[in-house]
Structures are given as C-alpha cells and as structure tokens.
Structure 1
Amino acid sequence: MSKHEGLARDSLGTLESIVMGVAGTAPAFSVAVTTATIVAAVGVLSVGSILYCGLIMFGITLAFIHLSKITPNAGAAYAWVGHVFGPRWGFFAGWGLLVASVFFMVSATIPAATSTLVLLAPHLVDSTHWVAGTAALWLTAVTLVVTRGIKHSSYTQLTLTVFETAILLALIIGAFIKYSDAPMHPPSMIWISPVSFTPQVFATGALTAIFFFWGWDVTMNLSEESRSNQTGAGGAAGVGAFWSVLNMMLFFTIMMVVVLIALNDQDIANADTNILLAVATKLFPAPWNYLAVFCTIVSTVGTIETQILQFSRSMFAMARDRMLHPVYAQVHPEWQTPWMATIVIWGLGMLLLFTSSYMPSVKEILQSSILAIGFQICFYMSLAGFACAWHYRKKLRSGPRRAISYVLWPALSATFMVFIALYSIPTFDTLTNVMGAGGLLIGFIPLLLNERRFGRQVIRSSRP
C-alpha cells in the first residue's frame, strides 16, 4: 500500500462540494430520525429550536471556512484547532468527531434498515435483531462504495440527492396545499418567539436540533481533494459548506412546519422514524406514498457515505501526524482512499450494531445515540469556533463585517454550544452520559499511548 501522500487531489468542484454538504446533513434522514425526538422534547417550539440552531451552526460554518484558509487539511477541525491551541486540543477535536461518527453508524443505518423492512417485511420492523442485521448489510454496501474512490462517492451522492430533493419538494408543496386551511397545529409566532424559550427548553431542543445540521463539515474534510481556485473563500470546500448550510437552514425550518401542520402529536409519536411516510400517507394514495420510504433510504445511504468519508479523512490526518498509529494513514495505491481508516469505522459500526440488537427497542437505541452525538458535536465544533475567533482576533479592528464574520459570530456560536452541552448533561440518563462524555474521555488512552510511542508531536501538516 502507498504512503499517506496519495489522496486524489482536485477531484471535487463547487457543485460536488455543495452536494456533499447537503448529503452530509441528509435532509430526509434528519427529519425522519430526529423529528419525533425533538417534538416530544419541546413540542411546537421545534421550529424555533431548528431556526436558532441554524444560526448557531452558521457561525461554526464561518469558523471552518476561515480556518481552512490556514491550509487545506483532511483533518479539518483536528488540524486547525491543533494549529491554534496545540496538538492535544487538536487531538480531542478530532477524537470528538471520530466518536460521534462511530455512534452515527448506529443512528444512521437503523432508519435505512427500518425503511427497508417496511417495504419488504413490515412485521419485522420492531425486531431489534432484524433491524440491526439489515443495518449491517447497508453499512457494508456503502463502505464498499466509499473505499473505491472519492469520484465514485461524488457521483453516487449527486444521483441520490436529486432523487431525494424531488420527493421532498413534492411533500412540502402537497402539505401546504392540503393543510393551509385546516392545519393540525395552527402556525403561530409563538413557535419562533425567543420569549417562548426557557434556558432548559432551549438547551433541550437545541441539542437535538444540532443533530439536524450535523454533517455539512464533511466538505471541509474533503478540502485536500477539492479544487482551490476560489481564492479567499476556502476553495470549493468552503463554498460548498457555505451554501449547503444556508440551504439546510431554510429546508429544515420549512420541513418542521410541514410535519406540524400535517400531523398531530400522536401521529408524530407513532410514526417514530417513519415520519415522512406518515406525512406522505396523508397526502398521496398508495403506492405513491411509499416514495417517502425510498426517500428516507436514499438520504440515509447518502449520509452514511459522507460520515464514513468524514471519519476516514479525520483518522487519516491524525495518523499521518502520528497522533494515532501510522497504520491508519495508509492510502490505497489505485483508489487513493484511506482504506485502513475506512475499515476501522466499518468494524466499529458493525460491533455497535451487534450490541444495539440486544437493547429493548429501536426507539431507545436512536434516542440515546442522537443525544450522545449532539453532545460530541457541541464539543468539537465549539473548539473550532473558539480557535477561529482567537486566530483572527486582530480582525476586530478591521471593520464590523470582518469582526462579526471572523471573530464575534464564531465565538458566540461556540459559547452557545458549550452552554447547550453543559446544561444538558444533568438531564441525560446513565447510558447517554457514558456514550457522550465517556466516549470523549476514552480519547486519553490513544493520546497517551501515542505520545509515549512517538513523543509530544507538533501537528506538522496544519502548519502554513
């Protein structure tokens, strides 16, 4: 196998980067897997939670775009936080993403599995063993596509995203036509009013809402494989991140309104991960309503693919810098992908799926993994926000626009994420705390082992 200098450079343009960012947030998947959880937590204030979390996430997006100007790096947050605050902080920024990605292999593949069983064997949908087994098949299939090369991945994403977008637009238009006069939940300014939120309600809704937006930063992990002709904008990767997050802010807010006007609270609770099917069934006759099931499967496959890309590139970059064992920096000589790191997330995902098959219900698996992932997202993204604000602190004297874009917005977003994470810890059950905080603390083991093996390392590749 080749050494690490083998990623396929200049493979992704702006359009492909935008598609990757949209696919990373997985519109249909995010709505399907998270809506029941957030509505159960904060009710109609779900709309405001998503809107305000979108504004918070956009501040983090600006941080990633500006930090990418230091140098394109497959490690993204790991490399740039390490450049600003030192290698240990960089390591834990990368570790937070790695752990969240592994848990995501459960919360992402399960909706694909349940949707598949809805089509093929509806009586098995509530069986955790059958769901986990079907999820394992999906994980294996997607891993094979990702391992074959970044171009294969981008072509797959483009096809899946076009199909997904067409179905979701049909659902949005159909819902507003049918329920504009008699909505299940009458729209109100209360849904987005800041005074409707207490600190606890905001933190509870925000931790789940953050899960909606997570995944766009895969574009930044692909920055070494993206074109860099857009000077000053972070290259194609930065442009892709910018537009994908803006589009998703608009889409998720509208889609939450669609769910609330089309379904009552009991419908939402009963639908669980099949929320799009529940909406489609209200709008379209069979078998056309089952296009929503295909939409969920397509979106889920897309986000599994992007998350494997994100994990493998982060692990590759960390191993390249000897913050993890160098074996994970191996790149396939023909496909130019970090194949060892890709196999790692496949193996860990299979292990977690096997373990989750013994949990009492599919719903419990999803709720615990979503909250734990939300905590870890807050951790590593807040580090990136603070790193951007500190690195560009001199921009405070460069005029209001630069001060807000480079320093104030990223810093405020990072502060909100810290608040959300800390405020939520006491509300977690033991399993969620073990998965969320415990998953981060385990990072001390590989960090100390590699420091002992190689000595204290400087993050070489993140230096200008």
Structure 2
Amino acid sequence: MTTPPGRTDKGLRSGSLGLLSSVALGLSSVAPAYSITVTLGAVALVVGDLAPAALLLGFVPILLTAFAFRELNREMPDCGTTFVWNTRAFGPGAGWLAGGWVPQTATLIAMAALAQVSAGYLLSFLGLDGVAGDGIGVTAVAVLLLAVLTTVARRGLRLAAGVQYVLLGLQLLTLLGFGTAALVREGAATPSPSWLNPLAVDGFGPFAQAVLLCLFIYWGWDALITTNEETRDSGRVPGQAAVISTLVLLGTYLFTAFAALSFAGTGATGIGLGNPDNATDVLASLAPPVLGPALAKVMELAVCVSAASALLTCLVSSPRGTLSMAAHGALPAVFARIHPRHRTPAFGTLFFGSATATVLVALSLISRDFLGDAILCVGLLIACYYGTTALACVWYFRTRLRDSPRSLLLRGVLPLTGGLLMSAAFARSAYDMIDPAYGSTSFHGVGGVFLLGAGSLAAGGLAVLAAKARFPVFFRTGRTSVTARLVTTED
C-alpha cells in the first residue's frame, strides 16, 4: 500500500479489514439483540400488530442515508466521515458541529447507556439479582467493562474485529433460535402479510411516532465507515458493507417481530406485546415461555453481549473520528497520537473510555430517570446528523448529477429523499419531546428530553465558537484543505 503524494498518512494500519469483518462491525455497532428487545414493545404499544410495517417504513430513510454515506465515502474515504464530508459540502462550521460534535455527543450518551445495560444483564445472567438492582453496583461493573473493552479497542482493529465475530454470532444465533421456536410453538398464530401494511394505521401521528422509534434500532451502522482507512479497497468496501449491514438488520428485525407477534399477540395483559410492563424488555418477557427457563438465560447473555459489542465498536469508531479532526487541524494534536505498535488512536481511545465512565457515573448519581431521558434525546441528534450528511451528498455532487442516470439516482434523488425524511423526523421528534409527559423529567412545563437534546445542540454551537477561536486556520481554509489531506490507499 502507498499513500499518494500530498496526502496525509494518519498512521493507522491499512488492509486490516475486509468486507465480512466490516459488515460484522456495522452490525455489532447497532446491538441488534438489545435494540429489538427495548424497542419492539414500545412500537407495538403504538401501532399494535402493524409493528413490522413500522420497522419496514422506518428502514427507508436509513437505507437512503446509507446510499449517501456510500457515495461520499467513494469520493472521500477518510476516517473522519461525516466531519470531512460536511466540511467539504457546507463549510468548517457545519462540519465541526453536524459532522463532529453531534455524532460524537450522541455516541457518548449511547456508550454510557450500553455500559449500564451490559452490566445489568451480566449481573442478572450470573444470578446476582441483588447487585443488579443496586445502581451503585451496576455502575461499578459497567466501569469495569468499559476498562476491559477500552483495552481491547486500544490493542488493535484486528483483535476487536475477532471479538466482534464471536459476540455478533451469539446474538444472531439467539435471535434466530428464539424466532424459530416462537413460530413453531403450539398456539402461535400464522404470520399475516397485513402486518406489513402501513396504510392500515389509524392516523399519521401514531405511525410517525412508531417510525421514529424504529430509527433508533437501525442507528450505528455508520460506525463501520470510520475504519475505511484500515479497510481493503477503502473507497468501495465500507460503502458496500454499510448497505449490506442495514439490509441484514432489516431481515433480522422483521423475522423477530413476526415471531414475537405470532406467539404473544398484542394483548394488554400477560405476555402480550400490548402490555406496558413488557415494553422495555420484550425478549426477557417472552424467552421463558418460548425457550424454557434454562435457554432463557442464553437470551439474557445475548442482550448483555449485544450491548457490550456495540460499546466496543463505539470505542473503535469515535477515536477515529477525533483522530481525523485533529489531523485536519480542528482538534488538539494529542487526538492524532497513534500507538506505535498497535497502530490505533491511543489517546483518543483512552479519552472516550474515560469520558464514557465519567458521563455514566455523573448521570447515575443525578438520577436514573435523567440517564433515561438522556438516552431518549439521542433520537434528535441521530436525525440531525444523518439528515445533514444526506443533504451534503446532494450538495457536494450537485454539478455532477447529470453525468449519468446512476449519478442522478444514487447521488441526488435517493439521498435528497433520505435527507428530507430525516429532517421531518427531526422536526417531529422535537415537537413530541417538548411535551412534559415525554420521558421522565420536565422543567417549567417543557420535556426534559427536549431540553437535553436542544441543549446538546446549543452547547455544540458554543463549542464551535470556542473551536473557531482555538483553530482559526481550519475554520478559514478547512473547506478546501480537507480535500488535500484525505487519505486513499492504492495497491
């Protein structure tokens, strides 16, 4: 591998990943077992047996956004991804805020939640229910898990990818086993194609709410693209892996949803998906009657490793984002430090591991409700940076859209549609979150979730002003200089 003249070699180990390992990273970062168990019940409460239709429709803007990521990565393969792409399309301010601050903030909050979830399920799996019910105990175990996974991430991408194969395999096999057992159980209803009919929903409001919930369970696949400089054929393979991973997620979620609906139905009592008591952990409620008490413990382990797997991927992807920002002069140079032997962003990995532990401890000490609302506000941040990046694709390629029908479709029509849908999701999310009944906290009649989401964006605006004073060269020349400093690899 050689780096073309004038390009910047950030020191990462190129050629570490292929298509399969990239897909594994993309799937792992979404935490499929955890995501479906905490979301399916909430969706069923809103739209009943039309939950598969909501999953399918919620997938549409995700797929359209994935095409935008693929096309931008082909043009500009850089581990900074959204930061670089938005900087090139809209300028340094937009790149720093929508491509840097917003995704990193969303990921940091999610990492704190994933660490807590993984620790709680691990303790439950081990039969330590007393400790699992103790907030301090769960937080202590979560911090220990963070330390272990930070060490794995710091020691190299190949090791992290190898661990992900095992963790992801357990998740997918468990979901497949659960779904198959649920479908063949005596009394299970025959799945109906009508469950995929979005026109059967009673009103736009409930369906929009269900679709917004579904955006969360697909979020995270873009983490795989941050390893593009360490992937073979960096301009092609990461984009392919992004599209493949989203399609695999769709199939996995639809299969699990059909199986759960067939077995449990949507009743408001017992194991029904319409029972609010089951909404936050559907698979834990259904696993014992479907799999039996012994195998139900495997489901607990699957959710535990699902959250841990996603956490590990975040510890891989986030430091590479800040590495790119530092390499392009938008963050302190310390974030660009590479471990001399492992060839990983040494300081950045330790920084994100430590920052996640700090956020987790702080939010846990304030209130568990506060941590829950912080997690809910992530949806607003997801819609913000996904939508902005999809629109950046259209704007960047605007002069080339007439080059071919492919260019018009994949760089224009599909990303524009995805960007507009994400913008609509952002507006709808903000509207819903203002309600003080949304989430667990409120302040002067305004929902705490909205205040946390809007506050994160406002804090990002202030951070941009501070960064502009600290890194004036980047904010003056960044729109053109990022192009000269992109890394591509050639055989």
TM-score, normalised by the number of residues in structure 2: 0.86
Which deviates further from its counterpart, 402-411 or 146-155? 402-411
2:363 aligned with 1:356: yes
CA distance in 2, matches of 1:197, 1:62: 31
Shift of 1:388: 1.0
Letter in 1 for 2:84: A
Q: Secondary structure at the match of 1:443?
A: helix
Deviation string 1:374-405 (CA, Å, 9 cap, x unpaired) is 11111111111001112223454345444222
Are the counterparts in 2 of residues 208 and 370 from structure 1 also a CA contact under 8 Å? no
CA-based RMSD of the aligned residues comes to 2.4
Deviation sequence 1:332-362 (CA, Å, 0-9, x none): 111111122222222221122112324655x
**Mapping for residues 384-399 of structure 1, pairs under 5 Å:** 384-394=389-399, 396-398=401-403
Three-state SS of the structure 2 residue aligned to 1:73 is coil
Deviation, structure 1 residue 146: 0.6
What letter is aligned with 1:446? A
Over 3 Å counting, the alpha-carbon distance change for 1:198 and 1:351 in structure 2 is farther
Aligned residues: 454
SS in 2 for 1:397: coil
1:92-133, Cα deviation, whole Å (9 max, x unpaired): 122111000111012212221221121231234343333322
Separation of aligned partners in 2, 1:445 and 1:33: 34
Q: How does 1:35-434 map to 2 (within 5 A)?
A: 35-92=40-97, 93-119=99-125, 120-178=127-185, 181-182=188-189, 187=192, 189=194, 192-194=197-199, 196=201, 198-228=203-233, 234-263=235-264, 264-266=267-269, 267=271, 268=273, 269-271=276-278, 273-358=280-365, 361=368, 364=369, 367-394=372-399, 396-398=401-403, 400-428=405-433, 429=436, 430-434=447-451
After TM superposition, give the deviation of residue 158 of structure 1 in Å: 1.1
Name the stretch that deviates more: 93-102 or 171-180.
Answer: 171-180
- Look up the equivalent residue of 1:200 and give its one-letter code: G
Deviation digits for residues 301-334 of structure 1, max 9, x if unmatched? 1100111222111111112222222221211111
- Cα distance in 2, alignment partners of residues 406 and 104 from structure 1: 30
Q: 1:177 to 1:33 in 2, by over 3 A?
A: same
Q: Which moved more, 1:168-177 or 1:366-375?
A: 366-375
User: 2:311 & 2:110 partners in 1: Cα distance?
Assistant: 8
Q: SS of the residue aligned with 2:74?
A: coil
> Structure 1 regions of 5+ residues with no counterpart?
none
- Give the C-alpha shift of residue 291 in structure 1: 0.7
One-letter code of the match for 1:252?
A: Y
Could you say which residue in structure 1 is the equivalent of 2:439? none
For the residue of structure 2 that corresponds to 1:222, the secondary structure is helix
Cα offsets for 1:126-168 (capped at 9, x unmatched): 4333332222222222111111111111111112112222111
Percent same amino acid at aligned positions? 24
Q: TM-score, normalising length from structure 1? A: 0.91
SS in 2 for 1:8: coil
Aligned to 1:450: 467
Q: Where does the alignment leave 5 or more consecutive residues of structure 2 unmatched?
A: 1-7, 437-446, 487-491
Tell me: CA distance 1:170–1:190, structure 2 relative to 1, closer, same or farther (3 Å).
closer
Secondary structure of the corresponding residue to residue 287 of structure 1: helix
Q: CA deviation at 1:30?
A: 0.9
Aligned AA (1:146): A
1:405 aligns to what SS in structure 2? helix
Q: What SS class does the counterpart of residue 51 from structure 1 fall into?
A: helix
- Distance across 2 between alignment mates of 1:191 and 1:149: 42
| CA positional deviation for 1:79 | 0.6
Whole-Å separation in 1 of the counterparts to 2:384 and 2:283: 30
Does the aligned pair in 1 maintain the 2:41–2:279 contact within 8 Å? yes
Cα distance change of structure 1 residues 219 and 205 upon mapping to structure 2, 3 Å threshold: same
Of the three residues 416, 431, 435, the one matched with 2:452 is 435
Any conservation in 1 of the 2:45–2:279 contact (CA below 8 Å)? no
Q: Distance in 2 between matches of 1:294 and 1:214?
A: 22
For residues 169 and 128 of structure 1, the distance between their equivalents in structure 2, rounded to whole angstroms, comes to: 32
- Aligned equivalents of 2:308, 2:123: Cα separation in 1: 15
